[in-house]
A and B are shown apart, each in its own frame.
Chain A
Amino acid sequence: MIIDKKTLGHLAELSRTEVDPEKESKLLKDLENILAYFEELKTLDTKRVEPMAGGAALTNVFRGDEETLRLVNEKALGAFPEKERGFLKTPPVFEGEDF
């Protein structure tokens, strides 16, 4: 198994996404099937092929350094569930006996 239970736990932690224990075995099976499907790419010789990153062949796209007031403060803050004095409020990152 390329992705086993331990790896899945690791991926869940990396992506900060909790997996429902009841759905775990089906998830492992689905991921296994999908990864098996990818195996056929190994038969392709891509040694001298440049990777293609994106859909556009543009490079160094910048816009002028002009102020165009787009998103007014209140609107941007409006989406925050918790806010205080114009700041996004979050639970403490560091807490507990370590500090």
Chain B
Amino acid sequence: MEYLVLIYEPEAAWENMPEPQKKAELAEYMGLGAAFPDRVRGGHGLKPTRTATTVRVREGKVMTTDGPFAETREQLGGYYVIEAKDLDAAIEVAAKIPAARRGSIEIRPVMTY
């Protein structure tokens, strides 16, 4: 079954990270696919929320605002798309994500129509 694994953590943590640690963590992120070859289908790190734009359409009017959907203490920093046989298999992958040690990882089943 497909799951979306959403990575939330305080952006400042990543931005203020010393270079060596950043490199090491990046390697972990890149390496997750190798650690779970049959599960990780894809994923991306996202640029910080200051680059975000939110679009809403109300009564036919397109409203564009600067910033992410919601101001929260932890921000969406990236995601993986994984294929896993059950929730426990998905949790195994999520637990290996570096941000899990500081932030929160949300696991959401992907809808099938």
Pair from one complex: no
Interface residues, chain A, with chain B CB atoms under 8 Å away: none
Interface residues, chain B, with chain A CB atoms under 8 Å away: none
